[in-house]
Chain A
Amino acid sequence: MADAWIYSAEPARGARMAAQVAELGFSPRLVEANGDLRPSESDGVAGRPPDLAVVIGDEALCERLRDDVAFADVPIVLSILPEDLGERVPVGEELLIPPFTAAELEARIVRARHQLGGGEEARCVEAGGMRVDLVTYQVTVGGEPVDFAFKEYELLRFLVTHPGRVFSREALLNRVWGYDYYGGARTVDVHVRRLRAKLGSEHAGRIRTVRGVGYRFDL
């Protein structure tokens, strides 16, 4: 599992962030910001750099990470409260400004990875004749482009990148919308219906309704 190290002077915010990156499949680890940038306990994890570093509120720490060759290939996301954004907006890092959705956090991580030139890994999901390019946001069915509104795309992206898993409507609402939208959890149903219509009969069935539970994407 991918490791995420979280640097925070405030334990509560650090813990919240840990839960959020864990949701995205990372194994989170809180790191003391005043140490040598590595977790204090040496249980093997510390032996190699993490797959992601999230720094909460401390721009100077980002610079220290940047200067450390061991972290050269580590994507860094800086989370900064809107009120802490001073005259000078930090430009070196991928910025995350609370409140944010899980989808946004995920997007920031992808972008942070891209800034390192590490975007060559498979950023594309294919299922039959359907192709979702996660970098260009372009979806094609049988080679023909299909256009989506942002939330439709976000829902599709989430489903295709987590195939075979059943998600409740509430979980999908939280992941993609991040807050209770005007339509409540029914918004998810509405968007699933739109996705199915746009994907066409051949692929509509890949988004399976799991009765009484939620939805699942089948590759």
Chain B
Amino acid sequence: MRAETDYVMRVVEEREVRFVRLWFVDVVGSLKSLSVPVSELEPALVEGVGLDGSAIEARTRGRERDVYAWPDPGSFQILPWTKPRVARMCCDLRTPAGEPFAGDSRQALRGVLDQAADLGLTLQVGCEIEFFLFANDGDGNGPPAPLDNGSYFDLTVQDVVSDFDRRAIEHLEQMGIPVTASHHEVAPSQHEIHLKHTDPLSMADAITTFRIVVKEVARDLGLFATFMPKPLDGLSGSGMHLHLSLYEGEENLFFDTEGDSPGGRGRPFLAGLLAHAAETAAVSNQWVNSYKRIAAAIEAPTHVNWSRNGANALVRLPSGRPGQQDSARLELRSPDAAANPYLLFALVLGAGLRGIERGYELGAEAGAEGSGEAALPGDLGEATALFDASELARETLGDRLCDWFAANKRAEWDAYRATVTDFDRDRYLRWL
């Protein structure tokens, strides 16, 4: 038995863990979980656990396929809010023959990470994740109640919010996810938590974990949390800004050694990120609702551009501390926290690597002459069409994932187009 497996079995015994949840995500990044009693854990670690692969296609489920979930023993963590204790392990998905399963988002990300490693490059990702906390009252219809409506228990909003922060941070830290939190000023019930930078695979696992921790803690406090990109009219939506640093050995390639070359040696990576932003938007902003955050343009980018200062640019190059290599980074501002983080990171890295491999030139900074800014897709239909035709996406994620994802998103878009919304009724019912 390998040392990692050994460790898991011993901790399970010592800490009296009763069940282990095997986590994986479907094609849109929704968390799926299989619960395994500890008596079945050892075989699960050695042989994997069979499941119906069509569950990974999300809402466009097709033929059944045999897939095995292989727990990654390195990801074993006790879920701090459980009693009796329950642990989780993130899984890779494999075919019955033990090959990587082509529909597995986590494997897709691993593939791109391997490519980067072959080039001697490592990416570090930090995240700023926004979400809303609402009072869990009403019948679930109609707009949600913000926390500052003064009717919430007899606690003040500040009490609830600081209680939430304290518990969420404690749980996340216990799960090996270092964070800093800040209450957001822009919208009343909006919250922002920063996840400190780490490698993309750990970060994608962390985001998946983060979403469930935030929802659990909110539920415990009688609230609910949502990562819906744009829940309220007229107020800012919830984004997930990514802070990217690219290293070659010890050297941060985005560090501008000359002081007059933004992006440093990493400029072609940035150029790649921009060049492929439109065709990867279906992944960074994967819901019909995602485009309402972008359309409102409140602190959300609408065009493909980069800037050192501009608040609304797609990519911002924060002015790092002078002489401090590690603080040099790019901030990608389009994604929202309801994305599939595995596919998102795979495409971000894939686009950047392509920029490097093919020597893309970086265009002029936003606002400068000749910056030639293309618009990001305006809705999910447009984004899906661009994604479906994207050679980069097919090469990075493989046909299986691309086909599933595109089919899923087309179905969502078609359903939306066929729906009569409140907007239609409010505007047209009496008028026309």
> A residues within 8 Å of B by Cβ?
101, 103-104, 107, 136-138, 145, 147-153, 180-187, 190, 193-194, 197-198
Shortest C-beta distance, B110 to chain A (Å), equals 8
Q: How far is the CB of B228 from chain A (nearest CB, A)?
A: 30
Say whether B202 contacts A147, CB under 8 Å. Answer: no
Q: Return 5 A-B CB contacts under 8 Å, by A number.
A: A136-B14, A150-B4, A182-B117, A182-B202, A184-B249
Whether B247 and A147, one on each chain, are in contact in the complex, defined by CB atoms closer than 8 angstroms, is: no
CB contacts (< 8 Å) of B75 on chain A: these are 149
Contact A180-B117, Cβ < 8 Å, known A152-B176, A186-B122? yes
Residue on B nearest A187 in the bound complex, by CB: B199
B281 CB to closest chain A CB (Å) equals 25
In contact, A150 and B249 (Cβ under 8 angstroms): no
Complex Cα gap A36–B403 (Å): 66
Checking A145, A151, A186, A197 against B74 with a beta-carbon cut-off of 8 angstroms, the contacting residue is A151
Q: Which residue of A lies closest to B2 (CB)?
A: A104
Partner of A190, one of B6, B78, B198: B198
Report the Cα distance A194→B176, complex, angstroms: 5
B198 contacts A183, CB within 8 Å? yes
Chain B residues positioned under 8 Å from A103 (CB to CB): 3
Please indicate the chain A residues that have their CB under 8 angstroms from the CB of B199 in the complex: 181-183, 186-187, 190
Q: Are A182 and B122 closer than 8 Å at their CB atoms?
A: yes
Contact A149 B176 (CB under 8 A): yes
Known: A136-B10, A194-B178. A150 touches B73 (CB 8 A): yes
Apart from A147-B11, A194-B176, A194-B178, 11 more pairs, CB < 8 Å = A104-B2, A104-B3, A137-B11, A145-B15, A147-B77, A149-B176, A150-B7, A151-B74, A186-B124, A186-B198, A187-B199
Is the CB of B269 closer than 8 A to any CB of chain A?
A: no
Contact of A147 with B122 at beta-carbon distance under 8 Å, contacts A186-B247, A190-B198, A198-B174 already known:
no
CB-nearest residue of chain B relative to A177? Answer: B74
B80 cross-chain contacts in A, Cβ below 8 A: 147
Closest to B250 in A: A185
For residue B335, CB closer than 8 A to chain A, the reply is: no
* Contact residues in A for B173 (Cβ distance below 8 Å): 194, 197-198
Using CB atoms, name the residue of chain A closest to B10: A137
**Known contacts A182-B199, A185-B250; A150 and B8 CB within 8 A of each other:** yes
Are B201 and A107 closer than 8 Å at their CB atoms? Answer: no
The verdict on B103 contacting chain A, using a C-beta distance below 8 Å, is no
In the assembled complex, the Cα of A152 lies from the Cα of B198 at a distance in Å of 14
Task: Report the bound CA distance from A197 to B76 in whole Å.
Answer: 18
Contact (Cβ within 8 A) A183 B74: no
Q: Does B14 contact A107, Cβ atoms closer than 8 Å?
A: no
- Most chain B beta carbons < 10 A, residue from A138, A145, A150: A150
B275 at interface by CB-CB < 8 Å: no
Residues of B within 8 A of A149 (CB): 74-77, 176
Q: Is B200 an interface residue (CB 8 A)?
A: yes
Taking a contact as CB atoms under 8 Å apart, the answer to whether B124 and A183 are in contact is yes
Interface size range of chain B in the complex? 35 or more
CB distance from A204 to the nearest CB of B (A): 11
The winner among A183, A193, A197 for most chain B CB atoms within 10 A is: A183
Residue of A nearest to B170 (CB): A197
Assess whether B14 is in contact with A138, with CB atoms less than 8 Å apart.
yes
Q: Are B74 and A150 in contact (CB under 8 A)?
A: yes
Inter-chain contact A184/B8, CB cutoff 8 Å: no
Contacts of B178 in A (CB 8 A): 190, 193-194, 197
Does B18 sit at the interface, judged by CB under 8 A? no
List the B side residues contacting A147 at CB < 8 Å: 11, 15, 77-78, 80, 174
1/0 per residue B151-179: CB within 8 Å of A?
00000000000000000000001101010
CB neighbours of B183 from chain A (8 A): none
Residues of B within 8 A of A137 (CB): 7, 10-11, 14
**Which residues of chain A are near B213, meaning CB under 8 Å?**
none
Which chain B residues numbered 66 to 86 have a C-beta less than 8 Å away from chain A?
Answer: 73-78, 80
* Interface membership of B196, Cβ < 8 A: yes
Bound-state Cα–Cα, A187 to B80, Å: 23
Smallest CB–CB gap between B59 and chain A, Å?
Answer: 31
> Shortest distance in angstroms between A155's beta carbon and chain B's nearest beta carbon?
12
Q: Are A193 and B196 in contact (CB under 8 A)?
A: yes
Contact across chains for A182 and B201 when beta carbons are under 8 A apart: yes
Whether B91 is near chain A, meaning CB under 8 Å from some CB there, is: no
Contact partner of A150 (CB less than 8 A), chosen from B76, B78, B113, B117, is B76
> Which residue of chain B lies nearest to A107 when distances are taken between CB atoms in the complex?
B3
Taking the closest CB of chain A, its distance from the CB of B180, in whole angstroms, is: 11
> CA A44 – CA B141 in complex, angstroms?
85
Q: How far is the CB of B73 from chain A (nearest CB, A)?
A: 6
What CA separation (Å) do A153 and B198 show in the bound complex?
Answer: 18
Could you give, for residues 356-367 of chain B, a 1 whenever the CB lies within 8 Å of some chain A CB and a 0 otherwise? Answer: 000000000000
Question: Mask for B108-130, Cβ within 8 A of A = 1, else 0?
Answer: 00000100010000101000000
Min Cβ gap A44→B in Å is: 35
Q: Within 8 Å CB of B202, what residues of A?
A: 182-183, 190
The 5 closest A-B CB pairs, nearest first, are A183-B199, A184-B122, A182-B199, A197-B173, A194-B176
B7 to chain A minimum Cβ distance, whole angstroms, is: 5
Contacts of B73 in A (CB 8 A): 150
Contacts of B200 in A (CB 8 A): 182
Task: Give Cα A90–Cα B17 distance, bound, in whole angstroms.
Answer: 32
- In the complex formed, the residue of A with least CB distance to B196 is A193
Distance of B187 from chain A, by nearest CB (Å): 29
Of A149, A151, A185, most buried by chain B (CB within 10 Å of CB) is A149
Q: How long is the Cα–Cα vector from A182 to B115 in the complex, in angstroms?
A: 10
Across-interface contacts of A145 in B (CB, < 8 A): 15
A103 to B198, CA, bound (A): 22
Residues of A within 8 A of B2 (CB): 104
Asked whether B176 lies within 8 Å of A182 as measured between CB atoms, the reply is: no
> In the complex, what residues of A have CB within 8 A of residue B10's CB?
136-137
Near A by CB (< 8 A), chain B positions 276-332 give: none
Task: Give, as a whole number of angstroms, the nearest-CB distance from A105 to chain B.
Answer: 10
